[in-house]
Structure 1
Amino acid sequence: MEPLLSERRVIDAAEAMARTLGEDPNHTVAAAAMDTSGRIHTAVNVHHFTGGPCAELVVLGAAAAVNAGPLVAIAAAGDDGRGLIPPCGRCRQVILDLHPDAIVAVPTATGPEMRQIVELLPDTYFFPDSRATRVLRFNKRYYDAVANGEKTSTVRWGERVAVGQAIFYFEDDEEHASLNGEIRAVNRFRLDELTAERLRLPDGGSTEGYLDALRQHYPQMPHDAAVDVVDFSLLSS
């Protein structure tokens, strides 16, 4: 998917820092990461024959040093005009374990795209003891409905949603802060098994209309896909 405005800021921050590199062969890649408050953290790699950390791993540590919490977007860029670069296998595993809901910028022939970290490392081992804080992302137009308790369910495809506490993050929303909530249930259905009741639609709600909107949101979703109906609630402050 194409980067949102906030995600482009992350890419720009990584590329801007990469342009300052080049004199020191020990620091050749820059990375940037954004937390759920919209703060962007930056760092560079530490090249060493013993296996010095990549820039993506250093930026995870830099964010943790200021108690940033979960990260929602990450990008890395190389020196000498190499531009955006994808994370290596080790970085993908670490990001998946520590920030499983992050999306990562990758270069393509048509420009940068954002990929869920689970897309970059499918069918992988998931470290169960990482105790990562989970993030459930929403379009910013849903803030009021979620905040006042009107919206308590969502349908997701291709995401790894788990029951438990989570931060509700509203994309590109500079006006509102994230909310603390809880994923109460995750039920999987094939598209042809969805009903108004399973979709939690109000009386008179159109199942077909909901599915049309879902297909627009997930244009690569196959017609026989299985989706997750996620029930959630806010936690009292």
Structure 2
Amino acid sequence: MITDPVGPDAVPALIEAARTTIRDHGDGNVHTVAAAVLDEHGRVYVGLNLYHFTGGPCAELVALATARAAGAQAPRLIVAVGDEGRGVLAPCGRDRQVLADYYPTISVVVPTPDGPQVVGAEELLPHTYRWQAQQIQRLRFRASHLPAVRAGSKRVTLRFDDPVQVGPALLVFEPAAGTDAAGDLEDEVTLAGRITSTTAKTVAEISDEEAQEDGFADAASVLPGLRDYYPHLSSGDYVVFVRFDVDES
């Protein structure tokens, strides 16, 4: 494991990880480049390119996706190495744009006449057009819900006029303003998670069982309870049952 993601030992170790991968698993045809990614915890992930005439993914993109699938959220360093002794390769134009859009702070190992050097992703595309990459949605909670979410006893939340969709989400627990009540957070806490389903219905349509999923005693408790969050909510308004999971990685 590399303990210093941008230190002097990180680059040669990451190059070697990519070189070993292409040596052991390259086939000289479909898989000709390997990439290695170093994440925020010092973990290394590798990937191979998948050549296809329709535009198969480059090794860098495969390695980044592999890292994310394992829980990495802030990749720090990336390198690609070619087969047949080609050594370190610079990212192609598409990969440079992806890196600049999604990972603008990542460092990239590139070949130079003086050997491999590290540059920032944005340095690879000076004066580039920047596409606004979609920001991950945020599902906000009061700080008092953090213990139950962490324990797994809360996996449902009722929302009104708070658009969310199935997919990755950042669960945000906000400290209460102007109070010293026990259990309040001093700083914002975030957990990586995923919204798994959303179901809309009026407050009047909520059953006792559904109410209890979100910690209410029964359906009759929902409206007065939600009015603590949404003071003008009525029984005919639609609310959304948002079911979510927490990323345990």
TM-score (norm 2): 0.51
State the one-letter code of the partner of 1:68: A
Question: Within 5 A, what are the aligned runs for 1:41-60?
Answer: 41-60=45-64
CA distance in structure 1 between the aligned counterparts of 2:7 and 2:51, rounded to whole angstroms: 29
Q: 1:24 to 1:114 in 2, by over 3 A?
A: same
Report 1:163-174 matches (<5 A): none
What is the distance in 2 between the residues matched to 1:93 and 1:116? 13
- Which structure ranks higher in relative contact order (CA pairs < 8 Å, sequence separation ≥ 6)? 1
- 1:97 aligned onto 2:97: no
What residue in structure 2 maps to residue 82 of structure 1? 86
- Structure 2 portions without partners, runs of 5+: 1-5, 137-185, 190-249
CA shift, 1:131, in A, is 2.6
Q: Distance in 2 between matches of 1:87 and 1:96?
A: 11
- Bigger Rg over Cα: 2
Partner of 1:28: 32
Say if 2:18 is the partner of 1:14.
yes
Matched, 1:118 2:119: no
Amino acid at match of 1:70: A
Encode CA deviations 1:114-162: one digit per residue, 9 max, x unaligned: 0101111111122223338xxxxxxxxxxxxxxxxxxxxxxxxxxxxxx
Percent identity, please: 43
Find the aligned partners of 2:72 and 2:133 in 1 and give their Cα distance. 20
Kindly tell me the number of residue pairs found equivalent between the two proteins.
135
Query: What secondary structure is seen at the aligned counterpart in 1 of 2:90?
Result: coil
The alpha-carbon distance between structure 1 residues 235 and 9, as it changes in their structure 2 partners (threshold 3 A), is: farther
Residue correspondence of structure 1 range 187-202 to structure 2 within 5 A: none
Change (3 A) 1:129 1:85: closer
Which residue does 1:207 correspond to in 2? none
The 2-side partners of 1:80 and 1:236 are apart by: 50
Query: Which structure 1 residue ranges, 5 or more long, are not aligned?
Result: 133-233
Tell me the SS of whatever aligns to 1:84: strand
C-alpha distance in 2, partners of 1:65/1:35? Answer: 12
> What is the TM-score normalised by the length of structure 1?
0.53
